[in-house]
Amino acid sequence: MILHHIQTSPNNDSALKLCLRYARKEDTILLAGNGVTALLQRQWAMALSPFKLMLLQQDVQARGLGELLKDFTQIDYADFVDLSLSHTKVISW
């Protein structure tokens, strides 16, 4: 059970593409930084939908996306620390 940590937009970097290629059903995907913008695009939102998905709340709110992304689970850094321990490892793509 891996925590996949995505920090970049899929329009700039292949991190999300690769994470989705190798992630397993039981894994969790954490979108941080510009990674949160993936959810604005239908094809990435669809591709992410089978996975347990988390967003860093501060990164969402900082970008003015709080309302647009309100249906997704948003966490703080304390939760991130907990998730990193409740998963077997963190892969920062």
Chain residues in the site for other proteins (CB under 8 A) = 2, 5, 7, 14, 17-18, 21-24, 32-34, 56, 58-59, 76-78, 80-82, 84-85, 88-93
Q: Which is nearer to other proteins, 43 or 88 (CB)?
A: 88
Residues 6+ apart with CB under 8 A from 9: 34, 35, 37, 38
How far apart are CB 17 and other proteins at their closest, in Å? 8
Per DSSP, what are the bridge partners of residue 89?
A: 2
Q: Which is nearer to other proteins, 58 or 73 (CB)?
A: 58
Q: Which is nearer to other proteins, 18 or 53 (CB)?
A: 18
How far apart are CB 52 and other proteins at their closest, in Å? 16
User: Alpha-carbon distance 88 to 78, whole Å?
Assistant: 17
Main-chain dihedrals φ then ψ at residue 65, nearest 5 degrees: -105, 10
Q: Which is nearer to other proteins, 1 or 40 (CB)?
A: 1
Q: Which residues of 75-90 are buried (b: 16+ CB within 10 A; e: fewer)?
A: beeeebeebeeebeee
